[in-house]
Amino acid sequence: MAATIGISAEVRERVMAKYSKATAKKVARAVKKAKKGTLKSGGSGKKVTSRKQAIAIGLSEARAEGKKVPKAPKKKTAKKSAGKTVKKVATKKKTKERKAKKKS
């Protein structure tokens, strides 16, 4: 009780940890494996060389186990540009011209 003297419940809630101890262990394990050179990426199976990627893998594993971890940031989708549409139309025209040449 002596440690919480002078701190209201509201302040304590704001100071609470974002990550659980179990999450911290997962991240530490992933970073240690990355340093050792044995941590592999889930998708491609390649060796992880980036510290940031090792941390992301640790957080992802903790999330999968239901540990206390903030939600992953949402990926932004790129807007389609008009330039791509123009290229597609030009490519279709060229393809039609080639097919016409082959027929004749």
What is the Cα gyration radius of the chain?
26
> Would you tell me the crossing angle of helices 21-36 and 51-64 to the nearest 10 degrees?
140
Residue 70: the pLDDT is: 82
Residue 1: the pLDDT is: 47
pTM here is 0.54
Residue 87: the pLDDT is: 58
Each of the 104 residues of the chain gets a pLDDT tens digit; together they read 455 555 566 665 566 678 888 999 999 999 999 999 999 988 888 999 999 999 999 999 999 999 888 888 787 877 766 555 555 666 777 777 877 777 76
Question: What are the residue ranges spanned by the domains of the chain?
Answer: 9-72
